[in-house]
Structure 1
C-alpha cells in the first residue's frame, strides 16, 4: 500500500475557497517563445507507469505524457478530455466513447489501449500500487484472491467490455455515482501495445524497460530516457489531438532536498518550485516578490495513531493529545500563516466540507487535555515519526514542545530517511509512535478522503482503524443516487471519526510555489501539478 498523491517536500498550504481555479501569475506583457523549454523541480519518482504511480512527482511527469479521460472545471466537476462522452443510466454500467487520439509512437488510442492498461494494473500478481482503483469493477476479486500467494481465477476484469474500437463499457459491482470523476486519476491512463511483451497474451506482461521511456497519448513525449536521480525531459508532441501547449518542452530536474531546489530558483537556474520550503516562508516575499504565488490545493496534513499499539488504543488518549495542540500557533509561527489549521477530516475544496466537524476533540484546551490524558493513562513519553526528506522537522519539534508543556510528557521527533521507510516501519508494526501523514486527493469527493484513509480495508489505512458503522455509511454514500444523498452519508461517517479520532487533523495546505523571471502564467492545480497548458516562456 502507498499513500497516494503524497508530496515529498513540506506540507502544502490551502486557500479555502471552494471551486476556485488555480491562480496564475506573470501577466500577459512581453513576447513569448513557443519553442522554449521550462524547468520544474521534482523529487525522484517512485514509478512512471499509470498503474504504479501514486505520488506527486511521478504524477507531474505523467500529466505531461498522458491525456486523461476527464479533467475538472473550476467547480471541480469532471468534463471529457480524451473521452468523447461518458454516460450511464444507473451509475453501475458506464459507457465510454473515445475521441481520436494517437500515442507518441504512432499507434492509435483505442478501446484496447484502456482495457489492456486497466487489466494489467488490476491483475494482483503485477503488484501495481494503483491496482485497487479498479476494485469497484466487476471481476476485481477474481484477479485479487484474498491469499496473495494464490493464482487468480481470472486474468481480466469481467466488468470491462469492448464495444468497438472507440467504445467500451465498464460495469461496477455496485453503483457509484462519482465514478466519472474517478476516471480522471492517473491509474486510468491508457497504454499502447508497445508497452507489452505480447499485447495478445493473457495475462499481459509489461516490457521491463517501458517505464524508463513511457509512451503516452499526451501533449508531450519523452526526450530520451529517465535519468534517475538527475532529470527527466519531455518535448512537445506534434500530433497531439488536444489543446496544444505554449512551450516546446519541459525538463524536470530531480532534487534530493528542497533547500537546494529553492536556491536554484533564486539563482534563476530553475523555473518553477512547486513547494516553497518551510524554512524559506519567512523570506520568500522578499526573495521572489510577485513571483511567489499561492493557489488552492487539496492537501490534508495529519498525525496518525497506530491504534493497534496499546498506548494509543483509547480514543480518550487520542483526543487529549489533539486538545493539547495549538494548531493556530504552529500555522502562524512555523508556516507564517501560509496554511490553515484543520478542524475537519476532509478538505475545504470538496463539496460537503464542514468547518470544525471534528468538534471539541480538535479544540485547544490544554488544562482539560492534561486531566483527561492522566485519567486515561496516557503514555509518559511520546514520539512523532516523520520523513526527513520532506522538510517536516520544524513543525514536528513545535508540536512536541506543545505536548511537553501541555501534557507534562516527554516528546521527541523521530526522523526516517524516506517516507517509504516510515510506512514500512508502520506496516511492520515497529515502534514509530505517532506518525505524520499527508494526503492529496485523487478526485474531488468526500469519499476520497474517507474510504481510502479510514475504511477497514482502506488502501491507505495504516493505523488499523476499523469501524463497521463507518464502513457501512461510506458504502451507502458511494451507492447513493445523487451527490447530495451521498454527502449526507459521508458526513455521518465523518462524525464517527470525530468520536473515535484515529488521526489528528492538523493543517489544510495550499500550493505555495515560485517561479523564475523566465516564465509567466504559472499556475498549479488542486493535485499539486503545474498546469503545462498555461505556462509560457518569456522571450
Structure 2
C-alpha cells in the first residue's frame, strides 16, 4: 500500500518530525547570514530532490523554486496555466498539453515535449522506485510498468505531437486531471539528467537542473543548507530576491531563536512550544494563512471492537474538539467536523452531523448500547509532537465513556504504519493528510475507497467507491462535486475515521524581509519574498 501525503506531524511539516539532521543555525547577523541580497528559510533535510521522488514538505519547498509547474492555482483553487500554454480535452480522457515557448532549463536546454514524456516515464517505471510513481496510474499503460519485471518501460498513454505539444490518454476519464498537473511529480527533466534513455544520473539530485525561477548555486550541502539563485533567463515573473538559502535545522525551537535574533528570515512553522508567546514576540511578523492539512483518528474497521459504526460515532461524540484546539493548539488549528478541507471547492461544514458534535451524555449511552470495548488504545507516532493532544483526548474519553483509555507511542511514523498495514493490534490510531492538489477526490479516493493508496483502516463501501468513481468521470466540475458530496455523506454514516482538526500555516519572519506568503501546501512563495530594504 502506497503512502501519499500522509502527515506524520501535528503542527509541524512532515519531514521535520520524521527526524532532522544536524542543526545549521550559523549566520553572521545579516539577512540569513549571507548578505542583504539573500533570504534564508528554515527547512528540514529533504529526502529527495528528484521531482517524481519528492513526497515530503522540505524537498517540495526546494524544487518549487527550481521548477515551474504546468499549472498552478488561482484564489478559487482552480488550475491556471504556468509552463503550459493550454491543457485541453473534449472527453476528460484524451488531454492535449501545449507548452509555452521560451522556457529553458538552467543548463540552456530548450524545454520540449520529450522532457515531460521522459520524466513521467522514468517516474512511472516501478524498478526506479520513485515515491510519486502512483501519480501516473491514471495514464494508460501504467500497469505495464509495474512489478519486478514490467512488460514495458514507457507509458502507452503518452504521445509526442510536436516539440511543444504532447497528448496524454488516461485509462478512464478524470475530470480533475488538469488540476492534478500542478503536483511536482509532473515537472520535466532535462536531457542532461539522464546518462542513458530512462537512466537517471546518480548525482542528479545533488544539483538538480530545472526550468523554474531559481537555479542551484553549488550543490546540496546535506544536513546544512541548499542555496539557489535567480535564473535570469526565466520567461515569467522574476523573483524579487537574488538568492535563497534553505537552512536545515534539527530543532524548530533553535530556528525560532534565530528568527527572534534576526538571524533567520522565514520560519514556515512556529513551534508548538512557542505558540503562546509568538504573537507578542513577533508582532505583525507573526502570520497565519489557510493550509490543507487534516488531522484525524482512524479505526481498524476489521477489528471486532470497532466494527460497529455506532461505537465509532460514540467515541467521536465523546471528544471535545473545541477544548483541545484551544488548550493544546492555542487556536492555531480549527476543529474539524467534515472529511475534506475547507480550502476545497465542494467543502461543507459539519458533514459528520451529530457524530461530530460534543455530546458526552448521548455518547456514553450509544457506546454502551453498541457494546464498545472496555479499553481503548490510541496509537500515535512519538516523533510527531502528538503526546499532549493524545493524552488530552484519552482523558476526555475516560471521563465521558467510563472506560480505560491509554495512549501508545510508536517510535516513528513508519513503525506505526507498518503495524497497521500488517493488521497488528494498535487500537485507534492517528493520521494526517495534506492535499496533493485541490480536489475533493484527492481526499476521498486515497483515504477511503476500498483500494485507496492510504486506506490503512480496511474501510470498504461499494456505494462510496461507486460515487467517487462517478465523480471522477463526471463531465463537469459541478457534477463531480455533487457526486463527491454524496460520497462524503456515506462517510458520515459509517465514520471510518474521526475528523479532529484542520490546520493553518502559522509562520513568522524577520524584520529584514517583506512580502512573505505561504500557500496551501505549506510552501513559501519564493518569487514574492524579498529583503525589506
Return the TM-score normalized by structure 2: 0.92
Residue 24 (structure 1) aligns with: none
2:63 counterpart of 1:62:
yes
**TM superposition shift of 1:344:** 0.4
2:281 counterpart of 1:280:
no
* Equivalences for residues 375-524 of structure 1 within 5 A: 375-524=369-518
**TM superposition shift of 1:349:** 1.1
2:208 counterpart of 1:207:
no
Task: Determine which of 105, 108, 116 is the counterpart of 2:107.
Answer: 105
Listed as ranges, the gaps of 5+ residues in structure 1 are 13-32
Aligned equivalents of 2:521, 2:492: Cα separation in 1: 26
Aligned equivalents of 1:72, 1:428: Cα separation in 2: 38
Runs of 4+ in 1 over 6 A off after TM superposition: none
Residue 29 (structure 2) aligns with: none
Task: Determine which of 155, 170, 174 is the counterpart of 2:153.
Answer: 155
**TM superposition shift of 1:34:** 11
2:324 counterpart of 1:330:
yes
Q: For residues 87-106 of structure 1, what are the alpha-carbon distances to aligned partners after superposition, in whole Å with 9 as ceiling and x for unaligned?
A: 11121111111112111222
Aligned equivalents of 1:537, 1:162: Cα separation in 2: 43
Aligned equivalents of 1:93, 1:239: Cα separation in 2: 33
**TM superposition shift of 1:69:** 0.3
Q: For residues 311-349 of structure 1, what are the alpha-carbon distances to aligned partners after superposition, in whole Å with 9 as ceiling and x for unaligned?
A: 323222211111110001111111222221111001111
Q: Per chain length, whose mean CA-contact separation is higher, i.e. which structure has more relative contact order (CA < 8 Å, sep 6+)? A: 1
**TM superposition shift of 1:62:** 1.1
Q: For residues 360-400 of structure 1, what are the alpha-carbon distances to aligned partners after superposition, in whole Å with 9 as ceiling and x for unaligned?
A: 11111112222222333323332323333332222122111
Residue 243 (structure 1) aligns with: 237
Contact 2:9/2:432, CA 8 A, preserved across alignment? no
Aligned pair in 2 of structure 1 residues 311, 140: CA closer, same or farther (>3 Å)?
same
Residue 50 (structure 1) aligns with: 51
Aligned to 1:389, the other structure's residue is in SS state coil
Listed as ranges, the gaps of 5+ residues in structure 2 are 14-33
Residue 135 (structure 1) aligns with: 137
Aligned equivalents of 1:73, 1:408: Cα separation in 2: 49
Residue 192 (structure 1) aligns with: 190
Aligned to 2:200, the other structure's residue is in SS state coil
Residue 21 (structure 2) aligns with: none
Contact 1:8/1:43, CA 8 A, preserved across alignment? no
Aligned to 2:61, the other structure's residue is in SS state helix
Aligned equivalents of 1:488, 1:163: Cα separation in 2: 35
Contact 2:8/2:413, CA 8 A, preserved across alignment? no
Contact 1:265/1:272, CA 8 A, preserved across alignment? yes
Aligned equivalents of 2:10, 2:349: Cα separation in 1: 26
* Equivalences for residues 218-229 of structure 1 within 5 A: 218-229=212-223
**TM superposition shift of 1:224:** 2.4
2:162 counterpart of 1:164:
yes
Residue 210 (structure 2) aligns with: 216
Number of equivalent positions: 511
Aligned equivalents of 2:145, 2:483: Cα separation in 1: 30
